[in-house]
Structure 1
Amino acid sequence: MEARWRPEFCLLSWGANSYGQLGQGHAEDQYVPRFSDTAALHSKTFRAVAGGGGHSVFITENGEVYVCGQNHRGQLGLHISADISTLQLCPTLDQKITNVACGWDFTLFLTDCGQILACGSNSFGQLGVGEMVTHSADLLFVKCLKNPVVSVAAGLRHSLAVTDSGCVYQWGTGLFTHAKRALSPHPVPSHLSSKVPCLVPGLDQKISCQIAAGSTHCVCLTGDGDLFLWGSNKYGQLTATESFVSSPCLLKRSLLDGEKAIHVWSGWTHIVAQTERGRVFTWGRANYGQLGRQASASQNPEHQSAGPTEGANQEVCLPSEVKVLCGATQVACGSEHNLAIVGGSLFSWGWNEHGMCGDGSQADVVQPQLISGLRPCLIGCGAGHSVAVCCSV
């Protein structure tokens, strides 16, 4: 969902900061929200923010791009490969950018014409520009997508897009090894092994509108309110019994109490969805508190016996409601932590090793907790950091 804020703003960030991804001019982790350096913004208004493994991207209302953080693979699109610790304007080939998705070390920009521009690592074909490019500090057009794109997502090493006709495309080989191991001796389907956009099968009769990507899984939301999932099921994030699902499988609507889904987000190994009544459900990996609830509440013995998890402390959960998040107007997922705006207030939960939950500690947060004093208008997460744009503090 889209949110905008006006010039009377402050930009705060916290969590992992090894590469300057907090935009504060240094490279030290921050365990509570701190002001970022906004000198370069000149009272800009913003419409989107996203983060990758060590970088952050901000999209302005007029389509400009500001970036900071890790840049060793050119993921900031600045024509250089040096890390940047304060927000810097990114040239965008005269294209207006409307949204952004960040993978581990690459970035996908969506233009107002429905085109995708990509930069950063292409070691797994995640930029969608073929095999000849290993990485790029320049913005490259993903030319194979002929129809305008309306939604884009970046996983750890794979990418997804939805066109205006409702078709879903996938590229990048980040899921290939998992698929090969699970499907052998059968061949790996082309959409899991392609380095250019490839149509995802099994959604022919559906009109898709939004996609989300985990580290090794994919989620698609249709206009009918259905969710389809595919990829790795190691942590039960697909709600299936198989360890890997190669083609989209329907999430039983009964798991969402029979309600249609209207939004979906994904961390690396967990999924968050909101239904038509505003209720928020979470499922998947639970050992960092990333589900925002006690794992035992919806423990699924069938999944446990199927063996998609590793280690006694890793619990697999089916979808269950997190009631305190009902009515959330925004949700953002990092690798294993989350932010949400509920009633104008900011909540955080999950993995907290680098302080990304903003409570001043490094202890994981099992249930959504209020970050007091912040009234955010826009939120975003990187793998281990958090960002909030606030109208006042």
Structure 2
Amino acid sequence: MEDSLRSSGNLSRKVISVAAGEAHTLALTGDGYVYSWGRGMFGRLGTGSESDELSPVRVKCETCNESEEKRLKFVGIAAGAYHSMALADDGSVWCWGYNTYGQLGMNGENAVVPHLMEQFLSPSSFDSVTNESETKRKVPLKVCSVKAGGMMSLAIDNLGMLWMWGNCPQQSGSCESGFSLVSSFTPIPVWDFHGHAVVKVACGNEHVVALVSVGETHKGEHLVCYTWGKNDHGQLGLGDKENRIHPEIVETFNQDSPWAVYEVACGAFHTALLTRKKRPNDKLENTCWTFGLGENGQLGHGTTQSALKPERVNELPQDAYLISVDCGLFHTSVVSSAGDLWSWGMVKGLGLCPDATFTGTDAGDAMSPLRIRGLQEPRFHDPIQIVCGAAHTVLVASDGYKLWSWGRGRSGVLGTGKTIDFVAPTVVLWPPLTDDFKDRELNKDTEEDNLENKGSEEAAGTEKRLSLAMEEMKLLQSKLSIMEKYAGILHSSIFGKPFTEEDIPNSLRNSDTFDIAKEWEDMLESADRSKLIRLELFYRNMLAGVKDKQMKRRIQEIIKEFIPSSTTEN
């Protein structure tokens, strides 16, 4: 029983999935709870308000049963630009956030807490539109996975049927080309894959990519890649810029392709896929392919040119097994099973958008993959998943027990307790110091005390000690935040860039001593000309200010000496 309780506690801290929107982040834990942080506008955090959250807080689900024995447990999450989705273990779909285009699956206002999509409650809801066989219709409809992007929401059911709602690409008689994005709050089935099963799907602002089985069900055979939607930048990978109403096969990854696609991701106007060679017994040959808009280097091809067909990201090592890929607005990131991480695109792969003010070595877009390293070690141990928001990136590592984030920090989207940008991975405040975690720990301690026949007095003592410890941790975190803020201001004033963990001197990082003279000498030795000029200007202005202050005080002292002496003479 004790082992069971300990396992339950671990699951509450283990992140099994993450999702990122324009400026918010979601995390799903092993015990079925959803946490969110970042910008709260439109209710996208699901906390009951539109306030920003600088660190993870639990999503409120007041309409689902919250008792620990009977509550719904979430098994999947997804994030659009300004809305969020969660899939429960009973197949029900819950949505919250922005709803102007019906992406929450309801005809109404935005939702600040999860809203149940009633359309997926019963297969009879779709009897009027379904054309499946009578046998298949007898199978209760159950959603197995959810996905979101831009203003669009998607779901795959247990029959392999793909459903779409929100701002979706559809045929329109009012448009000359017959194509437009049409708002729908009712899920629309995609019949083009009849006789096949959709296994994975991703969507950008206006396009969709689906990995589909060769047969009726996915039995381990390799998947075929289909794309459709808006194609202004070649993001469909079909060799042209023509929009598509219906899905078409990307010939590079058709049934006869030597490459097997196993992961897919969409940015706003570009697409990325991970493949491996089909032939057995060959050495591992793993490849990332990208196509679509490339003006900020987000394709990783070494140029700013767009690509109308899939092209390899050649500078990634082929012997690294890439386990996860994701795209932001203007950047792309991948992580390998060994914990190696690469990113490319706007502002050195950070995706920080044109208003970023970094200079020197942090300036410029990355046209090819850049290796992202951790603070202590170059690799991130036991990685799980990487996701990209509009201008931030989040990595789940340490088998789900540690989260790293970097990029734009506005509204607390990085989950670090701060709103500043980070150009290097920094640790997310996980597990969060929230009341629900505290209550769960207290309940766990109480159960353990009962099992060991401890008295209520000792249980109360445990509760008090834990409460005091939590308060002390919050106080220490507050002090640390103030100190980091102060150090950041000083660092920005001197060096013209935000302070990151990589700026901590090696002598201080590796021991308790700090040789400031040696660190200063090493810093000057490694500084380029522009940095030396900046330092010279900073210290020249600072010295001039000190001398000016000294002169003013000396003048004040002379005046004070003169006034008493002149009074005495009079």
Q: Give the shorter-chain TM-score range.
A: 0.7 to 0.9
* Partner residue, 2:112: 85
Question: Of 158, 172, 197, which residue of structure 2 is paired with 1:148?
Answer: 197
* Partner residue, 1:346: 403
SS of 1:81's partner is coil
Is 1:219 the counterpart of 2:267? The answer is: no
Question: Of 233, 241, 244, which residue of structure 2 is paired with 1:194?
Answer: 244
* Partner residue, 1:66: 94
Identify if the C-alpha distance between structure 1 residues 251 and 364 changes in structure 2 by more than 3 Å, giving closer, same or farther: same
Structure 2 stretches lacking a partner, 5+ long: 1-14, 18-27, 66-70, 124-140, 173-177, 215-222, 278-285, 353-357, 375-379, 434-439, 442-469, 471-570
Question: Of 55, 68, 87, which residue of structure 2 is paired with 1:32?
Answer: 55
Distance apart, 1:347 and its partner CA:
1.8
Equivalent pair of 1:279/1:327 in contact (CA under 8 Å)? no
Q: In 2, Cα distance between the equivalents of 1:346 and 1:133?
A: 36
Q: In 2, Cα distance between the equivalents of 1:29 and 1:375?
A: 15
Equivalences for residues 226-265 of structure 1 within 5 A: 226-240=287-301, 241=303, 243-252=305-314, 254-256=315-317, 258-265=319-326
Is 1:335 the counterpart of 2:390? The answer is: yes
SS of 2:251's partner is coil
Q: In 2, Cα distance between the equivalents of 1:198 and 1:5?
A: 36
Equivalent pair of 2:329/2:351 in contact (CA under 8 Å)? no
| 1:195 partner amino acid | I
CA deviations 1:124-164 (Å, max 9, x no partner) are 779xxx84872100011011123211110011211110112
Is 1:170 the counterpart of 2:227? The answer is: yes
The structure with the greater share of residues assigned to strand is 1
SS of 1:354's partner is helix
Distance apart, 1:349 and its partner CA:
1.3
Q: Name segments (4+ residues, structure 1) moved above 3 Å.
A: 1-7, 123-126, 130-133, 287-291, 294-297
Equivalent pair of 2:296/2:304 in contact (CA under 8 Å)? no
Identify if the C-alpha distance between structure 1 residues 237 and 124 changes in structure 2 by more than 3 Å, giving closer, same or farther: farther
Equivalences for residues 351-370 of structure 1 within 5 A: 351-370=408-427
Identify if the C-alpha distance between structure 1 residues 295 and 246 changes in structure 2 by more than 3 Å, giving closer, same or farther: farther
SS of 2:43's partner is coil
Q: In 2, Cα distance between the equivalents of 1:73 and 1:136?
A: 7
SS of 1:195's partner is strand
CA deviations 1:220-243 (Å, max 9, x no partner) are 112433221111111112222351
* Partner residue, 1:272: 333
* Partner residue, 1:285: 346
* Partner residue, 1:307: none
Equivalent pair of 2:202/2:210 in contact (CA under 8 Å)? yes
Q: In 1, Cα distance between the equivalents of 2:409 and 2:349?
A: 8
* Partner residue, 2:127: none
Is 1:104 the counterpart of 2:150? The answer is: yes
Is 1:320 the counterpart of 2:377? The answer is: no
Q: In 1, Cα distance between the equivalents of 2:413 and 2:243?
A: 33
Identify if the C-alpha distance between structure 1 residues 210 and 255 changes in structure 2 by more than 3 Å, giving closer, same or farther: closer
Equivalent pair of 1:22/1:85 in contact (CA under 8 Å)? yes
| 1:207 partner amino acid | A
Q: In 2, Cα distance between the equivalents of 1:250 and 1:132?
A: 31
Identify if the C-alpha distance between structure 1 residues 286 and 326 changes in structure 2 by more than 3 Å, giving closer, same or farther: farther
Identify if the C-alpha distance between structure 1 residues 288 and 358 changes in structure 2 by more than 3 Å, giving closer, same or farther: farther
CA deviations 1:235-261 (Å, max 9, x no partner) are 112222351100111222x52364232
Q: In 1, Cα distance between the equivalents of 2:34 and 2:210?
A: 29
Distance apart, 1:323 and its partner CA:
3.3
Equivalent pair of 2:169/2:245 in contact (CA under 8 Å)? no
SS of 2:192's partner is coil
Equivalent pair of 2:335/2:386 in contact (CA under 8 Å)? no
Distance apart, 1:317 and its partner CA:
4.4
Q: In 1, Cα distance between the equivalents of 2:313 and 2:75?
A: 31
* Partner residue, 2:501: none
* Partner residue, 1:303: none
SS of 1:144's partner is helix
TM-score by length of 1: 0.79
TM-score by length of 2: 0.56
Identify if the C-alpha distance between structure 1 residues 320 and 153 changes in structure 2 by more than 3 Å, giving closer, same or farther: same
Equivalent pair of 1:228/1:248 in contact (CA under 8 Å)? yes
Aligned length: 349
* Partner residue, 1:53: 81
Distance apart, 1:88 and its partner CA:
1.6
| 1:236 partner amino acid | G
* Partner residue, 1:158: 207
Equivalent pair of 2:273/2:290 in contact (CA under 8 Å)? yes
Equivalent pair of 1:125/1:194 in contact (CA under 8 Å)? no
Structure 1 stretches lacking a partner, 5+ long: 181-186, 300-312, 377-390
Moved more, 131-140 or 43-52: 131-140
* Partner residue, 2:260: 207
Q: In 1, Cα distance between the equivalents of 2:183 and 2:310?
A: 30
SS of 2:415's partner is coil
Using the aligned pairs only, state the percent identity: 23
CA deviations 1:18-40 (Å, max 9, x no partner) are 11111111122222333331323
* Partner residue, 1:381: none
CA deviations 1:40-89 (Å, max 9, x no partner) are 332222222111111000012232211111111100112x1311111121
SS of 2:101's partner is coil
Moved more, 339-348 or 320-329: 320-329
Distance apart, 1:372 and its partner CA:
2.9
| 2:43 partner amino acid | G
Distance apart, 1:10 and its partner CA:
4.9
Equivalent pair of 1:295/1:315 in contact (CA under 8 Å)? no
The structure with the greater share of residues assigned to helix is 2
Question: Of 178, 185, 189, which residue of structure 2 is paired with 1:137?
Answer: 185
Equivalent pair of 2:145/2:155 in contact (CA under 8 Å)? yes
Identify if the C-alpha distance between structure 1 residues 137 and 231 changes in structure 2 by more than 3 Å, giving closer, same or farther: same
